Amino acid sequence: MRFSVLVEVRLRPGIADPQGATIERALPALGFSGVEKVRVGKAVRFEVVAADEAAARDEATSMAERLLANPVIEDAEVTVISGNGRP
Amino acid sequence: MRFSVLVEVRLRPGIADPQGATIERALPALGFSGVEKVRVGKAVRFEVVAADEAAARDEATSMAERLLANPVIEDAEVTVISGNGRP
């Protein structure tokens, strides 16, 4: 079966996020107030062919650890979104 | 109230994604097979103070359109995750 997967890669708490800080600094000039703690991560979406949802999740988690995220500074969260009947 | 918001910024369908293509090309050498359609976007998380969830969503959507995404090549999806009682 084919599963759609979303891997969200976030900087770990405490790791400086210059991109998020820049966005936060730009917001008041654009008229946005009350926005805090802006953190910018990556959202990687892909499709994976696997026997079942658990296998899809395992492969995606392994991919996240080995390629998509840097585990020293980043956390990865894997969400298996949907499966359908296609091979 | 304070709301946690996630804005996922994705390249529009048909826009070339060299970062996703590079990941896809690297996967077989790492032992991952059956992975297709890799697309890399941004996941921006922040907290916003707003009167209610609708107001938080409106502010986040406006931020996404004006600052976080480039509407020519990107789509933004806003998810208001939680609100709590803090001012």
* Predicted-complex ipTM score: 0.89
Give the Cα separation of A67 and A41 in Å (integer): 15
Per-residue pLDDT reduced to its tens digit, B15-58: 999 999 999 999 999 999 999 999 999 999 999 999 999 999 99
**Interface contacts (A, B; CB < 8 Å):** 102
- pLDDT of the residue at B22: 96
Which domain covers residue A73, as residue numbers? 2-84
Chain B contact probe: residue of A2, A19, A38 with most B CBs at under 10 A? A38
What is the distance between the terminal CA atoms of chain A, rounded to a whole angstrom? 5
Q: How confident is the model at residue A82 (pLDDT cuts 50, 70, 90)?
A: confident
Nearest residue, CB atoms, B42 vs list A30, A42, A48: A42
- pLDDT of the residue at B87: 45
- Order the strands of the A35-49 sheet from edge to edge: A74-84, A2-11, A35-49, B35-49, B2-11, B74-84
Our count of domains for chain B comes to 1
> Pick from A8, A67, A83: which is nearest to B77 by CA?
A8
In degrees to the nearest 10, what's the CA dihedral of B52, A25, B12, B38? -100
- pLDDT of the residue at B84: 61
Q: Structure pTM?
A: 0.90
Chain A contact probe: residue of B46, B67, B75 with most A CBs at under 10 A? B46
Query: Nearest CA to CA, how far is B1 from chain A (Å)?
Result: 10
- pLDDT of the residue at B82: 77
* Residues B11 and B86: beta-carbon distance below 8 Å: no
Give the Cα separation of B3 and A66 in Å (integer): 33
Mean pLDDT of A55-84: 92
C-alpha distances out from residue A1 to A43, A78, A83, B23, Å: 23, 18, 7, 22
Q: What is the CATH classification number for the domain harbouring B7? A: 3.30.1280.10
Q: How confident is the model at residue A87 (pLDDT cuts 50, 70, 90)?
A: very low
| Beta-carbon contacts of residue A86 (< 8 Å; ≥ 6 apart) | A1, A2
**pLDDT of A56 higher than 90:** yes
- pLDDT of the residue at A5: 96
